[in-house]
Amino acid sequence: MKKATYNDIAASLALITSLLLTLNAKAEQEGWLSHGYDYREQRFSPLTGINDKNVAELGLEWSFDTDFNRGLEATPIVVNGVMYVTGNWSFVYALNARTGELLWKYDPQVPRAWGAMGCCDVVNRGVAVEDGKVVFGTFDARLIALDATTGELLWETRTADIEQWPYTITGAPRIAKGKVFIGNGGAEYGVRGFIGAYDLATGEALWRFYTVPGNPANGFESEALEQAAATWSGKWWEFGGGGTVWDSIVYDEELDQLYIGTGNGTPWNRNQRSPGGGDNLYISSIVALNPDTGDYIWHYQETPADNWDFTSTQQIMLADMPWQGKLRKVIWHAPKNGFFFVLDRESGTPLSIEPYAYTNWATHYDKKTWRPVETAEGNYQANPGAYITPSSLAAHNWYPMAYNPGTGLVYIPVTRTPSVYDELQTDFVWGRWNVGVEIEKNPITGMPGLNQKVLTKLYSGHLLAWNPITQSEAWRLEHASGGNGGVLSTAGNLVFQGTSSAELIAATADTGTPLWRYDTEVGVMAAPISYAIDGEQYIAVAAGWGGAFGLIVRLDEKNVIPQSRILVFKLGAKNSLPVSDNSLELVEIPPQTDATSEQLDEGLRLYTNHCLVCHGAGVSSAKSIPDLRNLPMVFYENFDKVVREGMMESAGMPNFGKVLSKNDVQDIYAYVIYEAHALRKEQEPSIFDPIINVIEDVVSTIIVWWITD
């Protein structure tokens, strides 16, 4: 054996020193480098500075007010002490992660009228950062790269033809192998879903994978789409077909595969979408692709012939899991439909599928075919008017879940969302919801006067700690209502979650015991993250209420526009939130009309189908979008012009001229004015208030008990 020379030893020592330096640097400057922490998207921080022994000392270090007050869904990215986070209208902010100082911001100038082309608020779920570039998608379907240091525009690529189809981007791009991957949304309106890959250096489009086939007369882009076309019938391409890749895109380093989750079909109603039946591939599926070429590798369809807007776009988490004596490379997935899927990610074959929430659309999945066994109740075309759970509002939606390798548990934000589905024959209207389902009898609207109380009880929610191996519940933490935020887990035996009732909570990861609560002043949807600078650990979260669930449901009737903010915490900090006075006074409104009860019913029906998703149940809005019960007089006087002539289109209010008649708008107006007067009556104190409260409580409890299992 050759004797080691002085030079060899010196070289080894230098190597060890540099390794130690690297490790030390990693410990002192621990960032949050990509959307789900790393490629596995487990959202687990190895930091232990904040832990179950000291979390009670956590306090606000800094906050940053964003430019708007609508829903925040972004996961901040922290690289080299800089936080990159997105707000409403696809704004990007670069902040000093230690102090909150604004370093730069970028306004991509999204046309406000395009706000009407998204189902679920003008949100954005974040940026991707690599190679000195900050990459993000815009609401009008552009992909943009900025210089991470200066915020200057490097390149901009239009990803979809929005002249032809109402595409939007709300998801965070992912970067791997020098490529940026991004999909889009729009399946409620009617688009053809796809994911694209773009060159990180130039923005040049490299490949595109359509998730559903186009018109067969034009030929197919690939063999995979030719095979998919055999599972469709009718003229689905006229509605676009759907299957949009609006959230989860995950790169698997070990197998060199890209996984995408696809959305619902257009319309939701399968009888209208594909009248001759068929599974309608590749909607509501996980599809594995070759990241270099976009070629199809495998798929598994979680909801064949999706009839309910269940989608499979929710977070795809990668893990290694012991299964029947072998370590298997798996995907963990908890999509909207209420079942937890464990898939072998080499083949796409399920290992186990069990319900993580109450479901009545299917009893279970057959263990030979891995197909759901649907119930008669779930088939609303044959049995109109049944309560279906979960519904389009999801047992678990895009809100990120987290995993803790110390406990072996996955933490899922779960909501109970029963809704009535009725078939509605619709002609395709460009730029409008084209879902083929009547949501008129939805419980959230069928009970005027009790709306919010019934709503918050009916849509209850909890944080679920789930064992993915045994497919069983370890513990649950009940919240005030549903629609609660995404989750972070840390090596300090903690889970962090924001709630719809405006709290950020830390609980123990092993038992779910709450240890710390912070009043965020606004409901939280986004997932917290953690990072460290110079050895000090921070917890950060984007707090802003809105999104699909939040625009309809809320927990209070406060007449305040809540401020959407970034909040950052560390041990021992004692700062407080700036006082923002966005309270709204009740203004004078027009007198109640002499509308008939038929007219009010029709107004309620039309409101539910056209206005509710933005202006809220019971005409009670989240206030970031105008509450129609409390408008300046000019808007009541010009109600028809606003609704049917696009008077407020530049502010994001759609022009309904093509879908609503003058008579329709008169009925909606009558219903809105009715609710406006009801609000004022409610706010007049009365000696009967305590009794009325008790009666409302009892009645809403009975209704909830009757509707749910």
Residues of the shown chain interacting with Ca ion in the complex, contacts defined by CB under 5 A: 264, 309
SS3 assignment, position 362: strand
DSSP line for 78-140: EETTEEEEE-GGG-EEEEETTT--EEEEE-----GGGGGG-SS-S-----EEETTEEEEE-TT
Give helix then strand counts, H and E, for the chain.
11, 39
- In whole angstroms, the minimum distance from the beta carbon of 387 to Ca ion comes to 19
- In whole angstroms, the minimum distance from the beta carbon of 314 to Ca ion comes to 11
- Of 130 and 309, which has the nearer Cβ to Ca ion? 309
Peptide bond into 562 cis (omega under 30): no
SS3 assignment, position 38: coil
Assess whether 131 carries a catalytic annotation. Answer: no
C-alpha–C-alpha distance, residues 549 and 564, integer Å: 16
C-alpha–C-alpha distance, residues 71 and 552, integer Å: 12
- Of 263 and 486, which has the nearer Cβ to Ca ion? 263
- Largest pairwise CA distance in the chain: 103
- Of 314 and 489, which has the nearer Cβ to Ca ion? 314
- In whole angstroms, the minimum distance from the beta carbon of 187 to Ca ion comes to 5
- In whole angstroms, the minimum distance from the beta carbon of 539 to Ca ion comes to 31
- Of 309 and 664, which has the nearer Cβ to Ca ion? 309
The label of the residue with tokens 């690297």 reads: 22
Neighbour tally for 227: CB within 10 Å: 15
**Beta pairing partners, 258:** 251, 289
Both structure tokens of 137: 């998608």
- Of 309 and 602, which has the nearer Cβ to Ca ion? 309
- In whole angstroms, the minimum distance from the beta carbon of 265 to Ca ion comes to 9
Both structure tokens of 266: 């257009």
- In whole angstroms, the minimum distance from the beta carbon of 336 to Ca ion comes to 8
Q: Are 311 and 280 in contact (CB under 8 A)?
A: no
CB-count exposure of residue 519 (10 Å: 0-12, 13-18, 19+): exposed
Alpha-carbon distances of 184 from 157, 244, 249, 260, rounded to whole Å: 14, 6, 11, 12
Encoded amino acid at 94, one letter: A
**Residue of 121, 140, 306, 309 with catalytic role:** 309
- Of 393 and 494, which has the nearer Cβ to Ca ion? 393
Q: Are 279 and 345 in contact (CB under 8 A)?
A: no
- In whole angstroms, the minimum distance from the beta carbon of 244 to Ca ion comes to 8
- Of 264 and 417, which has the nearer Cβ to Ca ion? 264
Question: What residues are labeled active site?
Answer: 309
